[in-house]
A and B are shown apart, each in its own frame.
Chain A
Amino acid sequence: MSESLTKDTILEALKQVEIPESGGNLVDQGLLSEIVVHGGKVYFSIAIAPHQAEAFGVVREQAEKMVLQIGGVEKAVVTLTADHETGQAQAQKPMSAGEQRASSGVAGGKPAPSPRAGIPGVKHIIAVASGKGGVGKSTVSVNLAMAFQANGLKTGILDADIYGPSQPRLMGISGRPKLGDNDLLIPMQSYGVKVMSMGFLVKEDEPMIWRGPMVISALSQMMKDVDWGELDVLVVDMPPGTGDAQLTMAQKVPLAGAVIVSTPQDLALIDARKGVAMFQKVNVPLLGVVENMSYFLCPSCGDRSDIFGHGGAEAEAKKLQAPFLGAVPLHMEIREKSDLGEPVVVGSPDSEHAKIFKDIAAKAWDEIEKHEARASTQVPTIVIE
């Protein structure tokens, strides 16, 4: 029975490794570098002074042994690294006796984990995408964000559709964002969720006739030049397709995951598959699939009509071995409230639809945490000596 392999499990095991001379254990003495977990492999290093190389050889071996005993660990690579001590020639010498693992190639620097190039203060950035337009992605994004908020998470929403921004209307906000003291734009707010959209910067009916590089630049600014503050999750409402906006998001920030929205129709599914494939190519985990416009319940007679078919997205999710997050039905109320700028999750919080969205949000959050624990998007430590 293997326990889940997390950094905490590893740290617990390493607490049992004692340090010679000074006493105390490996973890409490603060000698560990960032622990990297990849699949069943664990990597980290122990910082020492050069003269301690031999004494710590034993510690290194012990650490490896302890980690290997943890269920789910296939391999443990533990290296010893020496601090740069300015003015002391010995720090320049590459590790010899102590360095049992020659593969690391670190000649003398203490590896400092490089900060993840993301948005400071924002813990997880997720994309809500679809292959084609018209599947209701923006409505799903808004309600998903509201649902995260309702579930207790500090949430923001970034409207990445430069050409057809819809968040201002869907969230019922108007006005221009102001510039804060630190030269960052202050995001607009609606029902407790922070929002940024091109729609706040231009008139609603004004076309954005822009080439790719301008779109890329605008998106980068909306991510980095906005004072998002501390957020648990930033939902990015992507434009349809697999173009500049998608590439920019995949390259400029480490996305924690992507949610794909599709209608049950085959046509929409073909494009949804492309969206999925795109995220796979750039190592963005798939949080799951949402089937929008799943069915229609007649408000007067209660009859159900599967206007766009039903279950297609769920079947596709199974085929892709991706989680199915939920099915959202067509309902007058969702559309009406949307157009009034009152997402159904806040407008009718006790309704069946609000519940559906809250469930989708809860499942999506589970997936985000699962991928974080598994370090599915672990990026390498970059060390500049």
Chain B
Amino acid sequence: MSDGDSSPVPVQIVLNKSKDLVSIEFDTGNSFEYEAEFLRVYSPSAEVRGHGNEPRKTPPGKQLVKITAIEQVGNYAVKFVFDDRHDSGIYSWSYLYEIGADKEALWSRYLEELDEAGLSRS
């Protein structure tokens, strides 16, 4: 009976004073840092991911976005509330671990996507 024990679970989630950086320490010992912009553009919400088979909608202009609140969602996720009013993303532990571990590649992809669409971060 796994109880979801097989995927890493955060032990502590810290939002810094300027509200633009989240540090998460997982029970595996790994720690990752997530800029608010990174979390915002990789929000698991269908608004960003696309509904069903729709493509990703990389949001532009999120360079200065900040996080105004972090809410617990049951036993398995948190919700980040951003100062641009986006709050529909439910970030499960496994999702947070995935994007944390893969941040470099995902960040490059984000910059490319903006480029291709002729959009910018600011």
Interface residues of A (CB under 8 A from B): 36, 38-39, 41, 43, 75, 77, 103-107, 109, 111, 114, 116-117, 249-255, 280-286, 320-322, 376-385
B84 within 8 A of A: no
Is B4 in contact with A254, judged by CB distance below 8 angstroms?
A: no
Does B51 touch A at the CB level, under 8 Å? no
Chain A residue numbers with a CB within 8 Å of B73 are: 251
- What is the bound-complex CA distance between A117 and B15, given in angstroms? 18
| A-B pairs with lowest CB-CB distance, top 7 | A105-B23, A283-B75, A380-B10, A38-B27, A283-B76, A283-B4, A383-B14
Between B16, B70, B72, the greatest number of chain A beta carbons within 10 A of the residue's beta carbon is seen for B72
Could you tell me if A385 and B11 are in contact, using CB atoms closer than 8 angstroms?
no
User: Which listed residue, A104, A107, A255, A282, touches B16 by the CB 8 Å rule?
Assistant: A107
Chief secondary structure at chain A's binding surface: loop
6 contacts across the A-B interface (CB closer than 8 A):
A77-B11, A281-B4, A283-B4, A283-B74, A381-B13, A384-B15
Task: Give me the interface of B with A, judged by CB distance under 8 Å.
Answer: 1-5, 9-17, 23-25, 27, 29-31, 33, 70-78, 90, 93
Given contacts A380-B11, A382-B72, A383-B14, 9 further A-B contacts (CB under 8 A): A75-B29, A105-B14, A105-B31, A250-B74, A282-B75, A284-B75, A285-B3, A377-B75, A385-B17
Interface of B: prevailing SS: strand
Among B4, B33, B90, B93, point to the contact of A105 (Cβ < 8 A): B33
Complex CA gap A156/B17 in Å reads: 41
Q: In the bound complex, do residue B11 and residue A38 qualify as a contact, i.e. CB atoms below 8 Å apart?
A: yes
- Complex Cα distance, B2 from A280, in Å, reads 7
**Do A282 and B74 touch across chains, with their CB atoms under 8 A apart?**
yes
Q: Is the CB of B74 within 8 A of A280?
A: no
Q: State how many angstroms separate the Cβ of A310 from the closest Cβ of chain B.
A: 24
**CA gap between A106 and B21 in the complex, in Å:** 12
Q: Are B29 and A379 in contact (CB under 8 A)?
A: no
Cβ–Cβ contact B72 & A283, under 8 A: no
- Kindly state the separation between the CA atoms of A381 and B9 in the bound complex, as whole angstroms: 11
Contact B31 A114 (CB under 8 A): no
CB < 8 Å neighbour of A284 from B17, B31, B74: B74
Whether A384 touches B25, Cβ cut-off 8 Å, given contacts A111-B12, A283-B4, is no
- How far apart sit A381 and B23, CA to CA, in the bound complex (Å)? 12
Which residues from A are CB-within-8-Å of B4?
Answer: 280-283
